[in-house]
Chain A
Amino acid sequence: MFHYLEKTLASQVVAPTRRTFLKLSAGAVGGLLIGGGVAPIRDAQASTPAEAFVQPFVHITPDNQVTVIVKHLDMGQGSANGLATLVADELDADLSQLSVQHAPSNPNVYKNLLFGVQGTGGSTAIANSFEQYRQAGAAAKAMIVQAAAERWGVEPGTITVSAGTVSGGGNSATLGELASAAAEQPVPETVSLKAPEQWVYIGKETQRLDLPVKTQGSVGLFGIDLQQADALTAVTLRPPRFGATVASVDDGSARAVDGVVEVLQTPAGVVVVAQNMWSAMQGRTALEVTWDETNAEMRGTDELAAEFSALLDQPGNAAPARGDAAGKLASAATVIEADYSFPYLNHGQMEPLNATVMFDGEKAEFWFGSQIQTLDHNVAAAVLGIDFPNVSINTMFAGGSFGRRATPDAHLTAEAAMVVKAWFDATGEARPIKLVFTREDDMASGYFRPMHMHRVRAGVDENGMISGWEHRVVGQGIMIGTPFEAFTVKDGVDHSSVEGAADTTYDLPDFALDTHHPTVGIPVLWWRAVGHTHTAFVMETMMDELAEAAGIDPVAFRLNHLTSDARLAGVLREAADRVGPAPDGTHRGIAVHKSFNTYVAEIADVRLREDGTVKVEQVTCAIDCGVAVNPDNIRAQVEGGLGFGLSAVLREEITLTDGQVDQLNYPDYPPLRISDMPTVDVHIVASAEAPTGVGEPATPPIGPAVANAIYRATGQRIRSLPLTKHGLA
């Protein structure tokens, strides 16, 4: 989705020349180094020695350490390791000498090739880097080989590199021993890449470099754990309703709290700055603030649901239609009409939002899990009133994101910058300030997956084929009201509300879809798999209903309508072929969906407990994501992705009463627990296609697979989530 950023931010991206390329990379790398054989964690400010081999994506030091510079935020999805694997494969490095380090913010060098700016999302990390990182590894290897050939007086063609050892003419050396000589070589204009059968790591089960440290406390990885001398902690008291502002503040008691250093005001609210988090939170509790609610959103979700529901009766903004849906429905043998509703959802990533900033009036340095660095960088510079080159961003590993750290308004960056600016204006002191959201701040501050309602009318004819499909979607468009609206919204239809339905690849020759995007003052945002989180539910439960109406097996019925999408049909067949017998007493449901160019089928076996709640016992998945760069990591992402989706299906719902969020912490919004987790069996379809994303595509199918299973168990069609609404969870 973020490719829309390209146009807006293009002015910030200067075409790279080779000179700037090299200059920018050398020494420009801050951030944390983890993994590998030398030091699992190197100091954040570690500098690269002068005699090292330094290219934008790979550094090789004389101590034989190979560091891959990772342009994508690793928020748990394994992209750092994935990118390192690509370099290591072409370089023929040994995995034990490999480390990873997040890249600095520099759109010229580190842009996402699909977005045009530096940023991570839409499950693109491997997809856009697959050529680039292999080329970086191959170029480094060519320079190493050339250096070895000159040193040993042999032909480059006679030199081999294997597991980090360079050999030729009876000599051998490590990559580290050749690093400084390789650094003197010209960068090759072109390199040839290995054929797939020559890959040594790609497609193999390799262990993630970041996991040993993550079993030892992840010390130094996350922004929230950053330790700096002299640093202060800030928490913000935010208005109780979206759109409210501060009317008056009495901070006398707050300032009296032990450890509180300063109380500041920003457009986000009233900020308590303290020696530590505990003092900051206590100081915040002691604040007395009145709010101006003139422009606040006062509606609750009940009122919004009534308004959305009324809009389902009215024609909306039409997406391009095909055929004659209304005409076909008029003559269909059976017509099914159904309404669906989906709640607001919180991301609930376990590391609450935070950002640390140091500002001396001229230059600013940031440390946080930046997901769209170029946007954060621009916003930081604008808020602080300094030039782009005077801002630097150290991207930290993130304790989850699921979309939450990528906001079109960069509100976290803006707020952190406003706090540090207010601090500097008030005190003249340059000190690092860590702005931390409590769980309550994180949960109640909006940026939710938007509430949506759908209405579908679909028919089947006497031959068991779908005959007409009318679809209406009501919900806030994620991009509406952002600077990207002009690029994302066509004919009044925000694609992020209809993706997965408007672009379905089922054979639906007579299809019409329209939308309403009501204006609501609640900030909304993409949430793992974005619009697919609700469109897949509607499409795949309706397909199940239509199959039943046609008297056809649900798999066969889907296959009958997938004549133009062989890959989607392929995963459906794969899952159906591979699934074992359903455990005794369970009921089975299936769903298949494509998102982010990856195809996933899921079969859920569900048991009804005695108290009437459901336990999803086992899920069988088939995934086609092109070349499987790291099969075990793909399985991990499928397990986690469907677990994340199941969590929402079971119990997650953000509601508002009179404009105030009702859920403030996990007890009110209880995510999936270990006792809820099914066993998961993942089958990866062998493919030679370019690799596509795996972080999101397993999330959409789980809801409809479970709902279809529940229908088999109870005869009840589930058309609203979460299942707690129906006493099923």
Chain B
Amino acid sequence: MTRIILNGTETDLDVSPDMPLLWALRDSLQMTGTKFGCGVAFCGACTVHIDGIPARACQTYIGDIEGAEVTTIEGVSSPEAQAIQAAWVELQVPQCGYCQSGQIMSASALLKETPKPTDEDIDFAMDGNLCRCATYARIRKAIHRAAEILEA
């Protein structure tokens, strides 16, 4: 049994310690906002925050996160995340939407760390989040827009 704090709530996971967090979320807790894209920490679709830091749930093992605070797209509610979500709608970022949970988790962590990111900061923070629909031009604009929203 592993206890984590999931979206602010203490949650006990009765799964094997070597199960990736991704499958514990999706299959044991029926929380499917965190997506499966590659399973090898290369696409970013499964990005969550662990103790505030973006992490790939597909390569995070339950046995390693006892006591950790885990935030998923279902629970993320920081001012940065809200600004990102608002900018995402305003600039009409998603197409299929499948990668966007991960994009939003990475982008909101970026803004927390770097409230006024440059294009280089964005490339660095977001390069691990693939979007096969190639919504990247809008992701970049929307991150800048979210930074403006937060400043206002």
Shortest Cβ distance from residue A275 to the other chain B in the assembled complex, whole angstroms: 8
Of A224, A225, A402, A676, chain B has the most CB atoms within 10 Å of the CB of A225
A207 touching B92 in the complex, CB below 8 Å, given contacts A277-B36, A644-B134: yes
Cβ-defined contact, B32 with A227, below 8 A: yes
B63 within 8 A of A: no
Contact of A674 among B38, B100, B127 (CB under 8 A): B127
Among residues 629 to 652 in chain A, which have CB atoms less than 8 Å away from a CB atom of chain B? 632-633, 636-637, 639-644, 646-647
B129 within 8 A of A: yes
A278 touching B127 in the complex, CB below 8 Å, given contacts A402-B132, A639-B135: no
Cβ-defined contact, A673 with B38, below 8 A: no
Which of A47-55, A71-79, A151-159, A562-570 participates in binding chain B? A71-79
A701 within 8 A of B: no
Shortest Cβ distance from residue B71 to the other chain A in the assembled complex, whole angstroms: 12
CA distance A641 to B97 in the complex (A): 15
Cβ-defined contact, B127 with A227, below 8 A: no
Closest to A369 in B: B96
Cβ-defined contact, A666 with B40, below 8 A: yes
Cβ-defined contact, B89 with A211, below 8 A: yes
Please, could you name 18 A-B residue pairs with CB atoms under 8 Å apart, sorted by A?
A: A211-B97, A215-B85, A215-B93, A216-B73, A216-B85, A219-B74, A227-B32, A348-B132, A349-B132, A350-B96, A438-B39, A636-B138, A640-B135, A643-B134, A665-B39, A672-B134, A672-B136, A677-B137
CA distance A673 to B148 in the complex (A): 24
Give per-residue flags for A670-683: 1 if the beta carbon is below 8 A from chain B beta carbons, else 0.
11111111111000
Cβ-defined contact, A400 with B132, below 8 A: yes
A677 touching B140 in the complex, CB below 8 Å, given contacts A277-B27, A278-B19, A278-B23: yes
Of B38, B73, B104, B138, chain A has the most CB atoms within 10 Å of the CB of B38
Binding site for A on B (CB under 8 A): 16, 19-20, 23, 26-28, 30, 32-40, 42-43, 45, 72-74, 84-85, 88-89, 92-101, 104, 122-123, 126-127, 129-140
SS class, residues of chain B in contact with chain A: loop
CA distance A603 to B52 in the complex (A): 42
Give per-residue flags for A212-254: 1 if the beta carbon is below 8 A from chain B beta carbons, else 0.
1111111111101101000001000000000000000000000
Closest to A695 in B: B95
Closest to B142 in A: A215
Closest to B101 in A: A217
CA distance A76 to B99 in the complex (A): 11
A217 touching B73 in the complex, CB below 8 Å, given contacts A399-B97, A439-B40: yes
Contact of B42 among A351, A640, A666 (CB under 8 A): A666
A92 within 8 A of B: no
CA distance A680 to B140 in the complex (A): 12
A671 touching B97 in the complex, CB below 8 Å, given contacts A215-B104, A219-B74: no
Binding site for B on A (CB under 8 A): 75-78, 207-208, 210-222, 224-225, 227, 233, 258, 275-278, 348-352, 397-400, 402, 438-439, 632-633, 636-637, 639-644, 646-647, 665-667, 670-680
Cβ-defined contact, A350 with B98, below 8 A: yes
Cβ-defined contact, A680 with B137, below 8 A: yes
Chain B residues with Cβ below 8 Å from A400 are 95-96, 98, 132-133
Cβ-defined contact, B130 with A350, below 8 A: yes
Closest to A231 in B: B27
Shortest Cβ distance from residue A70 to the other chain B in the assembled complex, whole angstroms: 15
CA distance A632 to B98 in the complex (A): 20
Contact of A208 among B30, B39, B92, B134 (CB under 8 A): B92
Chain A residues with Cβ below 8 Å from B98 are 76, 218, 222, 349-351, 399-400
Shortest Cβ distance from residue B19 to the other chain A in the assembled complex, whole angstroms: 5
A350 touching B132 in the complex, CB below 8 Å, given contacts A216-B73, A636-B138: yes
Closest to B85 in A: A215
Of B45, B93, B98, B131, chain A has the most CB atoms within 10 Å of the CB of B98
A639 touching B42 in the complex, CB below 8 Å, given contacts A207-B89, A350-B96, A398-B96: no
Cβ-defined contact, A351 with B85, below 8 A: no
Cβ-defined contact, B94 with A215, below 8 A: yes
Cβ-defined contact, A351 with B96, below 8 A: yes
Chain A residues with Cβ below 8 Å from B131 are 350, 674
Cβ-defined contact, B39 with A640, below 8 A: no
**Lowest 9 A-B CB distances belong to which pairs?**
A217-B33, A643-B134, A76-B96, A399-B98, A214-B97, A276-B27, A225-B32, A76-B95, A677-B136
Chain B residues with Cβ below 8 Å from A438 are 39
Shortest Cβ distance from residue A474 to the other chain B in the assembled complex, whole angstroms: 29
Closest to A352 in B: B36
Chain B residues with Cβ below 8 Å from A227 are 30, 32
Chain B residues with Cβ below 8 Å from A218 are 33, 97-98, 100-101
Cβ-defined contact, A214 with B130, below 8 A: no
Closest to B128 in A: A673
Shortest Cβ distance from residue B34 to the other chain A in the assembled complex, whole angstroms: 8
Chain A residues with Cβ below 8 Å from B39 are 438-439, 665
Closest to B136 in A: A677
Cβ-defined contact, B92 with A276, below 8 A: no
Closest to A673 in B: B127
A219 touching B32 in the complex, CB below 8 Å, given contacts A639-B138, A680-B137: yes
Cβ-defined contact, A276 with B96, below 8 A: no
CA distance A222 to B73 in the complex (A): 16
Chain A residues with Cβ below 8 Å from B73 are 216-217
Cβ-defined contact, B130 with A675, below 8 A: no
Chain A residues with Cβ below 8 Å from B43 are 350, 666
CA distance A402 to B132 in the complex (A): 9
